[in-house]
Structure 1
Amino acid sequence: MRPAPSSFSRTQAHSRLTLLRANRISQRRHVGISTTPTRTPPPHSLLPTGMLLRSLLIATVSSNRILLTPSLAILSFFTKPHSPLFSVDKNPILNALFKSTVYRHFCAGEDVLEVKNTIDSIKDMGFKGVILTYAREVVIEASEGHEVGVGVKQLKEEGIPTQEPAFDEGIEAWRQGVLETASMLEEGDFLALKFTGAGVGVMQALKDQTSLPKQMQDSLDAVCQRAIERKAGILIDAEQQFVQPAIDDIALSLMRRYNRQQAIVYNTYQAYLKSTPSTLLDHLHCAKGEGFTIGVKLVRGAYMNSEPRGLIHDTKQQTDDSYNSIAEGLLQHRYKDLGPDTTSGFPKVNLFLATHNKQSALHAYQVQQQRAEAGLPLTKVQYGQLLGMADEVSCSLLQLAADPRTNVPASPEAYKCLSWGTLGDCISYLFRRAVENRDAISRTKVEYHALRKEVWRRLKKAITFGVAGRY
């Protein structure tokens, strides 16, 4: 069993955030008395020491192409072992090595107890909550290196089913895994769903844009009810464009049923697609006309290597501009022909910004702050990053939440996205994270230098205290 996070490390991180919040309250009480600026510690100062050192180790590899290329080859080899000797589940030496490094850094745990411990340690750092997903339902498409549901792989290997079975084992396995995942959530957390993880029957229905099997429809209702019981939300993953239109339709249908007040169900919109602004506009009109709250999870996109190139913006800057303009429009309650001073008005929106881009996160925070200071209506917005990645972005948001200058109604809520399952289940997920670091090596270098600087800062502080303690 994976050991629980160090109580010293968890307490240390929690104490730092508590101190920041105490300073925030104190400065509010004494506003105008002191003009001495408070020096904000670096974002990585919030990380427990163990997490900081693991981050530095992984960033050292992922920021150096000479080290990263063979590391990717090794990790890819272990995703499909041809012998028990190379199985991370069956070889105890490999299991211990992987679990103590990349698995512990990027994954939540193998069972309920381990996952709960990880969630507690994250919330102790000040995060509002977590997004939890079950790794078994996701595989890696070897030709492109991206995540897909198991149904995508099965469809390629097994072909189109001749008829819908009376009982689909793939759907039942998906249902049980998702419900077990949902049972680990607490109030304010999110459950991430990948529809193609339910097997080939669901995959074919999505591809053909036909009705989902009745068994899958019932499973979705059960999952939504479980999320409501846990007071949690549901984030439906975006997938490849040959199934995305059907996913959009299902997401809207679920929103009509379950988002009558606040958003329970969120659909994911990929800013790198040229069609996303118009697709989102159609969905906003639908929400306004039918009176439900639309849940919008905004990402940049994850399938660039497999989608037709013409569907995607020509440059990264265009994708960045699209992401920021969509986020700003939703926060400003003004998007295309929708707005407070138009005949159409503006629908109720709950926004989840999933981004590792610090500029995008800070821009959204600034827009929200300006509206709060002006007394304007606010869109509910939350921010999320993957566990083990973009900690500078996550910790910057935690610091802003504790900053005395932050307007409380617009205080940012940060989340971490976690994947759970056995090491064997998660090995493909870990490979995907490594591929992402390869594709974002410039950003990883920035993270590496920031992590190294923080380790050096703590080391100097420890040496200084050690010397001072002798006198």
Structure 2
Amino acid sequence: MARRLPTTTLRLFSRRLNTASSSSSIAAGSRPSKPEPAAPTIVDLDDHRKLFSSVSTWKLLRSTVNLGLVANEMFVDFGMWVMNSRLVETGLVRDVILKTVKHTMFEHFCAGETTEEAGKCVRKMHEAGLRGMLSYAVEQTSNNDGCDRNLEGFIRSVDLSKSLPPSSVSFVIAKITAICPINLLRRVSDLLRWQYKDPSFTLPWKLNTLPIFTDISPLYHTLRKPEPLTPQEEQDLELAHKRLQDLCRKCVDLNVPLTIDAEDTSLQPAIDYFTYSSAIMYNKDGNATVYGTIQAYLKDAKERLFTASKTADKLGVPMGFKMVRGAYMSSENRAVSRFGYDSPIHDSIDETHSCYDECASFMLERIANGNDAVVLATHNLQSGKLAASKARDLGIRKGNPKLEFAQLYGMSEALSFGLRNAGFQVSKYLPYGPVDMVMPYLLRRTEENRGLLSTSSIDRVLIR
């Protein structure tokens, strides 16, 4: 008979997580090395049999193998080298690599290649008491034709969500970089940054939006006054707005919330602009359809969240936010190295965790007062437990539709099932699409989350 792991064992693994000191651990969510008080035990992670009772033995075995592989730094480094090398340009070698990736990392971290496979994955999770956040995993596009194709993919995700069991899909995910050319997003971000520096600088194309910057927001990407948008760029911007509005209207019609993913700080101002202008249009009657994403590893995250929420209150716009720690550390570090400025990311792991927990607490209090909605996307055991206990203390009933916890598919299974068993709504972020299309997502997740993947000891032990 399998034995129940004692609380002391889990605390031992928590202390091991606390020792992570690499820069990537900020994004990964590992705790600092100093001892911290144990969080209240509303989320029980001790009983491994209860946690994984809905998971088949075969899937547990496969998870053990895959988590063991991605926890091996040499394996990850070799895989990254192969995928970024010219080997993938060779037909036969590329086929072998893609098949290998498909039957290892892809099957573990992705929901499938087609909408049918993604739907099957959602149904299985629904049977286990979890929900799905459908993400057609396109990353970036450089032209309008590609943007139009990607919009069709997002629309299919919304249609798919309505063909599945009620409430089995919590959100559809979209990336603005997939429906607006990447160079145009950079141009719009530059212009928005310059207007913040110089309020007299006019942007005739600008729609009503919420505050995008604070006084501590990084502005070093725009060091000189940018040229106005050309007539062609304005036309392309209008097309991008129309794509997002088409998607928003589809979500409103089918009552499917839409979450806009965050990107790095060079692009985020334009993404927030798209998100907030759409929220003003489509978040009505006390319900948030369009959710933005706040990355807590950024120094200005808390202030931006507070400022946007305060302005939304004045406008009578209900807001929804997805709280994450952040997933663009490598690109941010390269940018500050190039520009010679201080990093926009918190200087310590402590500050990142403190920012995340304070933002989560702020949003939970707003929910308790009847305002807004939040997705608390975290792989950190302590943050999950603290938020669950805070929700209980505020009287937020279990299953409240304005509170959702979330983890990436294939990661932090113990926390997902622990929160589910405590009665909360829990979603898994489900990227799907052809293996070669999803490869950029897998590479980025592997690179940015290597700190978390290498400290997934608690999941591996509980699964065993």
Q: TM > 0.5 between the two? A: yes
- The DSSP-based 3-state class of the residue aligned with 1:362 is helix
- The aligned counterpart of 2:374 is 351
- The aligned counterpart of 1:133 is 135
- The aligned counterpart of 2:77 is 69
CA contact (8 A) 2:404 2:426 kept: yes
- The aligned counterpart of 2:185 is 203
Q: Structure 2 matches for 1:14-413, cutoff 5 A?
A: 41-77=49-85, 81-87=88-94, 91=95, 94-127=97-130, 129-135=131-137, 137-138=138-139, 149-151=140-142, 168-186=144-162, 187=167, 188-198=169-179, 199-200=181-182, 202-207=184-189, 208-209=191-192, 211=205, 213-260=237-284, 261-307=286-332, 308=336, 309-333=342-366, 348-372=371-395, 380-401=402-423, 412-413=424-425
Q: Which moved more, 1:285-294 or 1:239-248?
A: 239-248
Deviation at 1:238, TM superposition (A): 1.2
CA, structure 1 residues 67+369, in 2 after alignment: closer, same or farther (shift >3 Å)? same
Spell out, residue by residue over 1:249-294, the C-alpha distance to the aligned partner (whole angstroms, 9 max, x if none).
2222111111112110111111111111111111111111011111
Deviation at 1:420, TM superposition (A): 1.1
- The DSSP-based 3-state class of the residue aligned with 1:372 is coil
Deviation at 1:358, TM superposition (A): 1.4
**Could you list the runs of 4 or more consecutive aligned residues of structure 1 that deviate by over 6 angstroms after TM superposition?**
none
CA, structure 1 residues 432+47, in 2 after alignment: closer, same or farther (shift >3 Å)? farther
Partner amino acid, structure 2, of 1:254: S
Percent of aligned positions that are identical = 26
Distance between the aligned counterparts of 1:442 and 1:83, measured in 2?
Answer: 31
Q: Structure 2 matches for 1:423-438, cutoff 5 A?
A: 423-438=435-450
CA contact (8 A) 1:206 1:247 kept: no
Deviation at 1:130, TM superposition (A): 1.2
Distance between the aligned counterparts of 2:267 and 2:101, measured in 1?
Answer: 34
CA contact (8 A) 2:186 2:270 kept: no
Distance between the aligned counterparts of 2:382 and 2:315, measured in 1?
Answer: 34
CA contact (8 A) 2:185 2:271 kept: no
Spell out, residue by residue over 1:337-367, the C-alpha distance to the aligned partner (whole angstroms, 9 max, x if none).
xxx9xxxxx7721011111111111111111
CA, structure 1 residues 360+64, in 2 after alignment: closer, same or farther (shift >3 Å)? same
CA, structure 1 residues 201+430, in 2 after alignment: closer, same or farther (shift >3 Å)? closer
Distance between the aligned counterparts of 2:59 and 2:85, measured in 1?
Answer: 26
Higher relative contact order (CA 8 A, sep 6+): 2
Distance between the aligned counterparts of 1:302 and 1:193, measured in 2?
Answer: 16
Deviation at 1:437, TM superposition (A): 4.3
Spell out, residue by residue over 1:99-127, the C-alpha distance to the aligned partner (whole angstroms, 9 max, x if none).
33322211112222212111111111101
- The DSSP-based 3-state class of the residue aligned with 2:422 is helix
Distance between the aligned counterparts of 1:40 and 1:63, measured in 2?
Answer: 21
Distance between the aligned counterparts of 2:460 and 2:119, measured in 1?
Answer: 29
- The DSSP-based 3-state class of the residue aligned with 2:405 is strand
Structure of greater Rg: 1
Distance between the aligned counterparts of 1:59 and 1:39, measured in 2?
Answer: 20
| Alignment partner of 1:440 is 2:452 | yes
Distance between the aligned counterparts of 1:214 and 1:246, measured in 2?
Answer: 13
CA contact (8 A) 1:285 1:347 kept: no
Partner amino acid, structure 1, of 2:430: L
Partner amino acid, structure 1, of 2:91: P
Which of 415, 426, 430 is equivalent to 2:427?
415
Give the length in aligned residue pairs. Answer: 361
Partner amino acid, structure 2, of 1:130: G
In structure 2, the gaps of 5 or more residues are 1-45, 193-202, 206-233, 337-341
CA contact (8 A) 2:134 2:429 kept: yes
Deviation at 1:74, TM superposition (A): 3.5
In structure 1, the gaps of 5 or more residues are 1-37, 139-148, 155-167, 335-339, 341-345, 402-411, 454-471
